[in-house]
Structure 1
Amino acid sequence: MLDPACGSGNFLYLSLLALKDLEHRANLEAEALGCSREFPAVGPECVLGIELNPYAAELARVSVWIGEIQWMRRNGFEASRNPILRSLGNIECRDAVLDVETGRRAAWPEANVVVGNPPFLGGSKKRSELGLEYTETLKAAWPHVPGGVDLVCYWFAGAWDRMVACKLERAGLVSTNSIRGGANREVIKPIVAHGRIFEAWGDEAWTVDGAAVRVSLICFERERGDETPSLNGLPVDKINSDLTDFPFDLTSALRLSENKSTCFEGGQKHGPFEVDDDTARAWLQAPRNPNGRPNSDVLRRFVNATDIVRRMSDAWVVDFGAVMSEHEAAFFEQPFEHIHEHVKPVRMKSSLAAHRDYWWRHHRTRPELRKALGGKSRYLVTPVVAKHRVFTWLTMNYWPTNLVDAIARDDDTTFGILHSRFHELWALGMGTSLEDRPRYTPSTTFETFPFPEGLTPATPAADYAEDPRAQAISTAAARLNELRENWLNPPDLIERVPEVVPGYPDRILPKDEAAAQVLKKRTLTNLYNQRPAWLDHAHRALDEAVADAYGWGDDFRAGTLTDDEILARLFHLNQERAARQ
């Protein structure tokens, strides 16, 4: 038994006890049949480990010996006395996935079974935590593993590769629950396609270094055994790569061309481009610049995910767009001087040439999003990660961060379809999660979703304005938005104050301190946590309109349209449309 990320040896300790219990049971049964009782042969040498941290590796060796001594004494056998603890070379202190000297994959010792709790390190953090050189070398050493995956995925890939080479029988590993989706899931797909997951828990609470996380526990093999698979403690026919037991594999849903160039990640700054509200408003009221343009051309309200699910902050950001040259940016005197003083010194220290060459621009300027928003007065946004999948409207004066996804549509019909139970279920099924909060992405959750026929993002809203289906959805969606806005910002608690210059939305301010205390709790998260009856009724009316648009209205009203049935039908539509592309 091998644990290739053994830490201080907890899994090795438990594995040794389990192996010794199995042997002891076999010996007792043999003795009952008349055979002589044998002295235990299973010992610490039967558990193998790899651990990068020298101190943890030594703790693991001690833990295993303690387990051996405890078991022997508990079961009436004499434990080793001279010496009490012997050296355990089968627990190695080294990297388990990369041989840094050769730049190749690290070798694993021969074993029948692999278990372990590999390190939890998100794909986006590998470079900062492990270093650029190590990360690039690791990627080159494992060319069949997607580069942006969480670090734990290399242990799954390593175990599966050994099974394919007939050097391993079974494996059971702990991962963050994000392994169920996105690029991480790619290491699970070959296991399901050519072997099987025989036992799994998809989303369990776990504590790592005092921090609560959500994990998946996955046991898999290449040779398919006879026992019935178990998912979350229940027998199932098959476990899919997203750790569901649907009769169809939702992970094989394909991106639809009709949904492309509509949903985008927000921008990334990489530098202190923000300015406080007083400075921003002073710049807005300043005289026009030498180019005849006001500072409002490059000042935008800045929106992150917290602003959406809680209360909107009064954050501002300087944004010189995607193509503005340094010469052009310099005409906006006050914003440019601020960026020159505060951002340029940071950018000049960056290892990225683009940061140094275009220091006045954001890191990710999202030209494709800017193009898609052209000619629109508003657009939809949703947090990348949130407990509730909510959508809301922003005007063009707002610029979203990379933790916000922006949908370049301005019609209530699209808002209603996205806020329906149909899209919510699809997003939950196709997306990953961070801890217990689902993640939304343009590629996996939006571009794969089959909108009702004729109401897709490829169709201009004006083309279906007279469609009764679109009108019904639009009416229900607008009503939902109106009711939510009334709850979030009751007229008797707020004052709408015009911004210091035209073109920006009014500022929403509490009338007094008592109102401010009430408004602090008026957030979309709290609203959907409570889900009052009026909100539930509004969503049901919206869901009914969307069901009618799909042609499933009678089943919805009859109560036969279960969540699993909805996903099955949407998956069928996805496959059908993908085949026509």
Structure 2
Amino acid sequence: MPLSGEEIRRRLAAFAKDWKDYAGTERSEAQTFLNQLLECYGTDRKGVGAHFEELTPAGGFMDMIWPRVCIVEMKRPEESSRLLAHRRQALDYWQRSGTPQIPAPRYVVVCSFHRFEVFEPGAVYTEPMAEFGIEELPERQDALLFLAGGSPVFTGARSELTREAVVLVTDVYRSLRERSAADLDTLRDFILQTVWSLFAEDFQMLPSMLFTRLLDGLIAGGDSRSSEEELGQLFRYLAIREPRPSDRSPYAGTPYANGGLFERPAAVHLEPGELQLLRYAADFDWKRVEPAIFGNLLQGALGRDRQWALGAHYTSEADIRRVVEPTIVDPWRERVEATTTLKQVRELQQDLTTYTVLDPACGSGNFLYVAYRELRRIEAALRRREADMLRAAGKAEQASMSLFFPLANMRGIELDPFAVDLARVTLWMAQKLAVEELDIPEEPLPLADLSGIRRGDALRMQWPRADAIVGNPPYHGSQRVRKELGDDYAEWLRHEFGIGLKDYAVYWFRKAHERLEPGGRAGLVATNSVTQNRNREPSLTWIVETGGVITDAISTQDWSGEAAVDVSIVNWVMEPAAPPATTSLDGVVVEGITPALRATGSDASRAVALPANSGLSFQGPMPVGRGFVLERAEAEALLARTDADYRLVVRPYLVGEDIAVSLDQGPSRFVIDFAVRPLEDAMQFPAALDVLRRTVKAERERNRDRFRREHWWLLGRPVIAMRQALAPLGRYIAGTATGKRILFAWQDPWTCPSNAMMRSPSLMTTRWECSPQRSMANGREPSHPPLKTGSATRQLRPLRPFPGHSPTNRHERASANSPAA
């Protein structure tokens, strides 16, 4: 039975008293300490599957891992003041702890017996969500509540900038937009100028909490004060070098910032409620800002519909690092560690100042933020190496501080104007955070020119030269490209790239590779359909065949954002001067990586079809028109009519989710299915035909496919061969076409399977095994596992194409229209 909060607090108080004076090593007592800590939360370590001294792929040992829940890294008490130095080790363990089957634990704890740091790396990678001493543990019990199987609550003496602060700012934006307080460009400028000001005053870039004082005055002054004038005046001073405010002015000491952010000083009237929301946001500690929050701000500004139309799905920092580290950080770290002379170090410093990074789908700038931060840390490591060499040579330390990595070396392209400006704000913040973290004598004001973050359609634009290309291209499956981007754009893609219509990410992989120079690197995130069949050949296979070497990849993992997809992460180098020292697949060092994201020697992508499977497996009909699919109430109304036997054309409609989620594995929807009946026969069911006239006809008459245009009352892909195979049967097997595992269920002949289903008229008695190289004719993400026969692993035969749009054989048409079909 779960313990009460008071009981946990009581146990933790006794625990803290017992351990507060411990002064030994981590090895001698760490396991006792952790067992007792778990007991305080009512958890039996062995019972939940947590274990000690887990070996990592890199050869280190995690002190404790509770799969899917947490990793604990212990240090001796004297390290309490130096836990910052041990974070990377713990986070590296976390990075390597996940597998495609078992994701990495959600939380990481670094503990020195006397002090705790708690991380949630998938949300905020580098900063702890909570940190406290053992004497605070009873009152901070909620920060470790995951040890009791619950959700932690991260609070502290200092308010951290969380998503709550972003929500406040976003709510102001929405309120202003809904009441048309100004044109959208002005509102966008206002909200971004406000965000930067909240950040700047906490870093004393604005004097004496100026922005907060202005808000307080406006709230207290009521109608006698004007936010449009007073906040507008602050933004005007930030925009211009001269004249500066007088010493008596409330704006005294306001710096010149501009950088493009204040090129159009925004003057907007705020209602009292909007002022109060901004004042609440000002109470947060904006020095603790993390870029992960800005995707949320952009989402709030775009709205979900606009977000989906842009394919804009945001990446957690943990996933960003799976691109940035192998593509940018690791190669630079190797170069730094290889230096042996002062001359080499200084040449490398010079090389770093010319190194450029491009994110061609930069969104709110998260990839660029992480890349910039890590490059500044590389820069600091070079300076430390220079200083060490000078000291070793007996010279006074003269490490050069005249060369700085330029913020303008970060380049980006983004379609949405709000995102472009937000990415620039993110990078300006990144510069100040780097200056503070690394104690760099660099002045972040005036703001750097970031015109290299450009607005436009990246696939239509010339990309700037870059040493590294990183990012998360928009997600549109090939079947959604026309709907989301339009027919003209789809045709342009076909002709521009010469590879037909593929998943949208395929074109980004090709363009990125084309822009790389020898030795250049790229790392992209995409849905895992990029590794499969029709998408793999024109992307990863083409990259490998034209000089690319895949150096690090995640074959498939659950997406960290809200998009319900699995992703692959691919990092490669163009024509390397020497073979990569190591290649890593799913966190494990392998000899090489194939385009199918399999270890060299285990590639099943070239498996051939089994001829014996011909005519035994089919893809179900594709509606091509939402009006075909009915909710239960609509279907029951048609089925209750007596003017015709509507059971012949209104059928239960099975989708993969029904098999995967529903207890009875039966259909939850219905579909109007005229099979291949001509229009005159379909008119015998007038109510069903009227539904399609209202909901489908206009859309289908605009379809580019002639058959679908002229036969608007028929499903877009009737699949005659499947109907003929099922016609004589009393039942058939349906299987899911997407998902990590294929799931089967018996279905009766009245049930119509969807195009996201695989059907088999007979049960094949053979052994199945898992493989990411699954084959479906429609090129969806995961599909069939391969069939094991003898010593060869072979694919289930791809679904046969639709044999013809207008069957002329009378018997063929009759069997396709039969009730059992």
- Per the shorter chain, which TM-score range? 0.5 to 0.7
Match of 1:185 among 509, 525, 536: 536
Q: Is the 8 A contact 2:529 2:781 kept in 1?
A: no
The aligned counterpart of 2:569 is: 217
Match of 1:245 among 586, 593, 599: 599
Cα deviation code 1:470-501 (max 9, x no counterpart): xxxxxxxxxxxxxxxxxxxxxxxxxxxxxxxx
Q: Please tell me whether residue 233 in structure 1 is matched to residue 587 in structure 2.
A: yes
Match of 2:505 among 125, 145, 152: 152
The aligned counterpart of 1:12 is: 368
SS at match of 1:15: helix
RMSD: 3.4
1:255 to 1:449, Cα distance in 2 relative to 1, 3 A? farther
Q: Is the 8 A contact 1:207 1:213 kept in 2?
A: no
**Amino acid corresponding to residue 425 of structure 1 in structure 2:** C
Counterparts of 1:400-479 in structure 2, within 5 Å, are 400-407=753-760, 409-410=761-762, 412=763, 414=764, 416-417=765-766, 420=767, 423-426=768-771, 428-430=772-774, 439-440=782-783
Q: Residue 42 of structure 1: CA displacement?
A: 1.3
Q: Residue 449 of structure 1: CA displacement?
A: 6.8
Counterparts of 1:67-216 in structure 2, within 5 Å, are 67-80=430-443, 83-98=445-460, 106-144=461-499, 146-149=500-503, 151-163=504-516, 166=517, 169-186=520-537, 187-193=539-545, 194-208=547-561, 210-211=562-563, 213-216=565-568
The aligned counterpart of 2:698 is: 349
Q: Residue 85 of structure 1: CA displacement?
A: 0.5
Q: Is the 8 A contact 2:728 2:820 kept in 1?
A: no
Instruction: Tell me, in whole angstroms, the C-alpha distance in 1 between the residues paired with 2:592 and 2:441.
Output: 46
Q: Is the 8 A contact 1:72 1:79 kept in 2?
A: yes
Q: Is the 8 A contact 1:96 1:108 kept in 2?
A: yes
Instruction: Tell me, in whole angstroms, the C-alpha distance in 2 between the residues paired with 1:175 and 1:76.
Output: 37
Counterparts of 1:445-524 in structure 2, within 5 Å, are none
SS at match of 1:124: helix
SS at match of 2:605: helix
Q: Which runs of 5+ in 1 are unaligned?
A: 99-105, 459-502, 506-581
Instruction: Tell me, in whole angstroms, the C-alpha distance in 2 between the residues paired with 1:90 and 1:196.
Output: 28
Q: Residue 355 of structure 1: CA displacement?
A: 4.5
Q: Please tell me whether residue 339 in structure 1 is matched to residue 691 in structure 2.
A: no
Q: Residue 110 of structure 1: CA displacement?
A: 0.8
Cα deviation code 1:506-549 (max 9, x no counterpart): xxxxxxxxxxxxxxxxxxxxxxxxxxxxxxxxxxxxxxxxxxxx
Deviation beyond 6 Å, 4+ runs, structure 1: none
Q: Is the 8 A contact 2:591 2:600 kept in 1?
A: no
Q: Please tell me whether residue 365 in structure 1 is matched to residue 718 in structure 2.
A: yes
Counterparts of 1:379-418 in structure 2, within 5 Å, are 379-386=732-739, 388-407=741-760, 409-410=761-762, 412=763, 414=764, 416-417=765-766
1:60 to 1:306, Cα distance in 2 relative to 1, 3 A? closer
Q: Is the 8 A contact 2:618 2:722 kept in 1?
A: yes
Instruction: Tell me, in whole angstroms, the C-alpha distance in 1 between the residues paired with 2:635 and 2:367.
Output: 53
Instruction: Tell me, in whole angstroms, the C-alpha distance in 2 between the residues paired with 1:277 and 1:93.
Output: 47
The aligned counterpart of 1:541 is: none
Q: Which has the larger radius of gyration?
A: 2
Instruction: Tell me, in whole angstroms, the C-alpha distance in 2 between the residues paired with 1:191 and 1:359.
Output: 41
SS at match of 2:598: coil
The aligned counterpart of 1:555 is: none
Q: Residue 235 of structure 1: CA displacement?
A: 1.0
1:136 to 1:237, Cα distance in 2 relative to 1, 3 A? same
Q: Residue 227 of structure 1: CA displacement?
A: 1.0
1:354 to 1:347, Cα distance in 2 relative to 1, 3 A? farther
Cα deviation code 1:186-212 (max 9, x no counterpart): 21113344432111122334433x456
**Amino acid corresponding to residue 156 of structure 1 in structure 2:** F
Q: Please tell me whether residue 29 in structure 1 is matched to residue 385 in structure 2.
A: yes
Instruction: Tell me, in whole angstroms, the C-alpha distance in 1 between the residues paired with 2:680 and 2:384.
Output: 86
SS at match of 1:251: coil
1:299 to 1:54, Cα distance in 2 relative to 1, 3 A? closer
Q: Please tell me whether residue 328 in structure 1 is matched to residue 690 in structure 2.
A: no
Instruction: Tell me, in whole angstroms, the C-alpha distance in 2 between the residues paired with 1:29 and 1:273.
Output: 66
SS at match of 1:80: coil
Instruction: Tell me, in whole angstroms, the C-alpha distance in 1 between the residues paired with 2:594 and 2:368.
Output: 29
1:424 to 1:2, Cα distance in 2 relative to 1, 3 A? same
Q: Is the 8 A contact 1:174 1:217 kept in 2?
A: yes
1:168 to 1:387, Cα distance in 2 relative to 1, 3 A? closer
Q: Which runs of 5+ in 2 are unaligned?
A: 1-356, 798-818
Counterparts of 1:550-565 in structure 2, within 5 Å, are none
**Amino acid corresponding to residue 346 of structure 1 in structure 2:** T
SS at match of 2:376: helix
Instruction: Tell me, in whole angstroms, the C-alpha distance in 1 between the residues paired with 2:612 and 2:715.
Output: 29
Instruction: Tell me, in whole angstroms, the C-alpha distance in 1 between the residues paired with 2:433 and 2:707.
Output: 60
Aligned length: 418
Match of 2:426 among 58, 63, 80: 63
Q: Is the 8 A contact 2:414 2:455 kept in 1?
A: yes
The aligned counterpart of 1:272 is: 628
TM-score, normalised by the number of residues in structure 2? 0.46
Instruction: Tell me, in whole angstroms, the C-alpha distance in 2 between the residues paired with 1:301 and 1:64.
Output: 53
Cα deviation code 1:30-71 (max 9, x no counterpart): 343348422233111222211222221122222222222332
Q: Residue 72 of structure 1: CA displacement?
A: 2.7
Q: Is the 8 A contact 2:377 2:438 kept in 1?
A: no
SS at match of 1:67: helix
1:212 to 1:362, Cα distance in 2 relative to 1, 3 A? closer
1:318 to 1:177, Cα distance in 2 relative to 1, 3 A? closer
1:28 to 1:272, Cα distance in 2 relative to 1, 3 A? closer
